[in-house]
Amino acid sequence: MNTLSAFNQYTNSLAPNGELMPVLFIGHGSPMNGIEHNVYSENWRNIAKKIPTPVSVLVISAHWLTKGTGITAMNAPKTIHDFGGFPEALYDVQYPAPGNPKLAEETTKLIKKTPVVLDHDWGLDHGAWTVVRHMYPLADIPVLQLSIDYTKDAAYHYDLGAQLYALRKRGVLIIGSGNMVHNLRMVSWQHMHETNYGYDWAVQMNNTFKDLITNGDHAHLIRYEQLGKEASLAIPTPDHYYPLIYTLALQGKKDEAHFFNDYVVGGSLTMTSVIFSEKD
């Protein structure tokens, strides 16, 4: 059974009104995925149809890096076009999902590890809206973002992420949005549209990540620097990897990991994504 078939069989078995919301790590890739109808965006739409409808969505995006931790707390977060050199149609997109100031304030109280600032300036960057607009196109579900403190290591973010677990019991869908393998400097632009084109080291590292996730080996994923030269190529900077760390921290004892969008792009990027959810 291929990966997509296995994923569809799995999500079809999820209870429509499960008590514990699943957790998603999504490889978001190019901002163009926000307006394109492709295998990635189609799977994002399908996931939203097969999991319980959340009361709110909380995104940890690779594109909101701060010193300290913040959470968006405005009533109407703006759509941020934090990229350059793309078609005008992408800049025209607005995703007017509401915020949830009350949930933002309650989340600050859950996190004991560090003070969390209620932010009224950021909004929804492309790590959030390019994905969520496919999942919830009516923009009728509140969306918040939690920032990533770029001064801290993976172990810190894992411990912080674990403190968000109670939100799963309250109907909040938590999404980590980044890419497991993300080396823009080594992208082969001439192969960007070639299906599943990947360098050997990228494919190897992607498989290593999947094996460790499947086995629940969070310790090695946290200490990714010790996974060899392939890891240093896959994660030259940790910004796109840290969202995965948050989702790992939210995995419960009964949660199973199932992969989707398991493709390599341009040699040095992977779209590989994972859903953590209980299965009866």
* pLDDT exceeds 90 at position 23: yes
Of 62, 44, 36, 42, the C-alpha closest to 244 is 62
pLDDT in tens, 58-79: 999 999 999 999 999 999 999 9
The pLDDT of residue 4: 42
Whether 16 maps to a domain, the answer reads no
Q: Judge whether 164 and 108 are in contact, CB under 8 Å.
A: no
Give me the phi and psi of 186, to 5 degrees please: -105, 10
Strands 273-278 and 255-260: antiparallel
The pLDDT of residue 280: 59
Structural domains counted in the chain: 1
The tokens of 257 are what?
């990991």
Average pLDDT, rounded, for the chain: 93
Whether 243 maps to a domain, the answer reads yes
The pLDDT of residue 19: 73
Give me the phi and psi of 124, to 5 degrees please: -120, 110
Whether 137 maps to a domain, the answer reads yes
- Confidence at 2, pLDDT banded by 50, 70, 90: very low
- In CATH, what number is assigned to the domain containing residue 84? 3.40.830.10
Which residues, 6+ apart, have CB-to-CB distance to 140 below 8 Å? Answer: 97
- Confidence at 91, pLDDT banded by 50, 70, 90: very high
Whether 98 maps to a domain, the answer reads yes
Round to whole Å and give the CA distance between 242 and 162. Answer: 13
> Of 112-116, 171-175, 192-196, which range is least confident?
192-196
Whether 44 maps to a domain, the answer reads yes
The tokens of 130 are what?
């390019």
Of 137, 230, 128, the C-alpha closest to 173 is 128
- Name the residue range of residue 28's domain: 3-11+23-278
* pLDDT exceeds 70 at position 217: yes
Whether 18 maps to a domain, the answer reads no
Classify 81 in phi/psi space as left (phi over 0), alpha (psi -120 to 50) or beta.
Answer: beta
Whether 201 maps to a domain, the answer reads yes
pLDDT in tens, 124-161: 999 999 999 999 999 999 999 999 999 999 999 999 99
Whether 212 maps to a domain, the answer reads yes
* pLDDT exceeds 80 at position 5: no
Q: Judge whether 111 and 163 are in contact, CB under 8 Å.
A: yes
Q: State how far the alpha carbon of 182 is from the alpha carbons of 90, 127, 236, 238, 277, in Å.
A: 22, 14, 8, 9, 25
pLDDT in tens, 221-279: 999 999 999 999 999 999 999 999 999 999 999 999 999 999 999 999 999 999 999 87
